[in-house]
Amino acid sequence: MSVGWGWNWRRGGRLVLIAVGLLMVVAVVGWASTSLYFKIISMPTKQTEYMGLRLGMPMTEVLYVKGSPDQVGEQQKDGSWTGRAAENQNVKDFPSWKYTQGLTRLDLEFDKATKLLVEILCHSMIDMGCPPLLGLQDGMTEDDLVARLGRPNRAQTINPAKAMEFSDLGVWFYLQKQRIYWLGVRDYTRKP
């Protein structure tokens, strides 16, 4: 029989095991919650802004932010575009505007009735010429696109290109030779 301040090995051993077990549980829970947090914050969300512009902006605000476009025109029903130089034109009379910056072009589409911005597109003749959109840039592959965003809501091959729309995210991409060359943000609730 022990007398005084002696150590109770049975009880002490249990306490040490419980403490180590609790530390392991806290470590696993901490790791799992951190992993989940980073997965959640990296999930793509619906896009309404791109290249300093936001969907729903009126023409006057776009002019304030970007200045006068280089070209104005109109998207035809067959998908073709008819346009002209914006010089000496009332740009607000046209629903399609184009801005050229070196080898990169910014295309804007406005709702014909409300004159609010409904589509923001970037096209570049060089890889990585457009700002990233949901972590994707022109020049990246179709595999990169699908790995980042999953399967598109709509995909259509229009020789020699492929259009991939992610309407739940408000974005779409054109690809050629399995590489992104157009990327943009679109308001899918309105038609340009």
Query: Considering the domain boundaries, does residue 141 fall inside one?
Result: yes
Same domain, yes or no: 60 and 150: yes
20 and 112 co-located in one domain: no
pLDDT of residue 9: 67
Q: What is the pTM of this model?
A: 0.76
Residue 3 lies in a domain: no
Task: Return the exposure string of 66-82: e unless at least 16 CB atoms fall within 10 Å of the residue's CB, then b.
Answer: eeebbbbbebeeeeeee
Q: Are residues 30 and 92 in the same domain?
A: no
How much is the pLDDT for 5?
Answer: 63
Residue 143: how many CB atoms within 10 A of its CB?
9
Q: What is the per-residue pLDDT for 28?
A: 85
Contacts of residues 185-190 at CB distance under 8 Å and 24 or more positions apart, as own/partner, are 185/47, 185/48, 185/49, 185/50, 185/55, 185/119, 185/120, 185/133, 186/55, 186/118, 186/119, 186/120, 187/48, 187/55, 187/56, 187/117, 187/118, 187/119, 190/111, 190/114, 190/116, 190/118
**Domain total in the chain:** 2
Residue 192 lies in a domain: no
Containing structural domain, residue 167: 50-186
What pLDDT tens digit does each residue of the chain (192 aa) get?
455 566 676 777 788 888 888 888 888 887 877 776 666 566 788 999 999 999 999 999 999 999 999 999 887 777 677 887 777 789 999 999 999 989 999 999 999 999 999 999 999 888 889 999 999 999 999 999 999 999 999 999 988 899 999 999 999 999 999 999 999 999 988 765
